[in-house]
Amino acid sequence: MATILRDLSYRYQWLYDAIARLAALSVGGETRFRQLALENVTLGAKTKVLDLCCGSGQTTQFLVQYSQDVTGLDASPLSLQRARKNVRRC
């Protein structure tokens, strides 16, 4: 089942986003999910940040609020294309 959803979610951005939002509910929502990774981390405007396996840029969108030097990297060319659309500052 997971493989079917993974294949479909890469094909359809709306499905990928819905699954990500649904998964984040278990910790209090998408914003809380993104903040958990940054607990005890100090980011400034000049901090260099690498968002490895950035997917379509959901976390990257969150990170550019804290740093002007964020780079998103992913193995999937389709995901990178989507990230460039979703996060103009990448």
Q: What is the pLDDT of residues 15-70, one digit of tens each?
A: 878 888 888 898 888 888 878 878 888 889 999 999 999 988 988 998 999 999 99
pTM for the full predicted model:
0.70
What are 51's two structure tokens?
């968002």
Domains of the chain in start order, with CATH, are 2-86 (3.40.50.150)
88: number of Cβ within 10 Å: 9
